[in-house]
Amino acid sequence: MQIRKYTPADSDNLFALIEREGDEWTYWQGENKAKYQKALNNSIVYLVFESETLCGYLRCHNDYGFGVYVQDLLVDKQYRGKDYGRLLMERVCRDFTDDVVYVMGDVPVYYEDKLGYEVEGKIYVVKVKGESKK
- The CATH number of the domain holding residue 82 is 3.40.630.30
Domain with 86, as residue range(s), is: 2-114
Identify whether 121 is part of a domain. Answer: no
- CA dist 81 and 13 (Å) reads 21
Sheet holding 2-5, edge to edge: 2-5, 44-50, 53-62, 68-75, 101-103
Q: What is the mean pLDDT of the chain?
A: 87
* pLDDT higher than 60, residue 134: no
Per residue in 24-46, pLDDT (tens digit) is 788 788 888 999 999 999 999 99
Alpha helices per DSSP H over 5-83: 11-21, 32-41
Better-predicted residue by pLDDT, 97 or 114: 97
pTM of the model: 0.86
Q: How far is CA 14 from the centre of its chain?
A: 12
Strand partners, 4: 47
Identify whether 73 is part of a domain. Answer: yes
- CA dist 114 and 101 (Å) reads 17
Identify whether 124 is part of a domain. Answer: no
Instruction: Please tell me the total count of domains within the chain.
Output: 1
Per residue in 73-83, pLDDT (tens digit) is 999 999 999 99
The CA-based dihedral angle spanning residues 48, 42, 61, 71, taken in that order and rounded to the nearest 10 degrees: -60
Query: Which of the four pLDDT bands, split at 50, 70 and 90, describes residue 23?
Result: confident
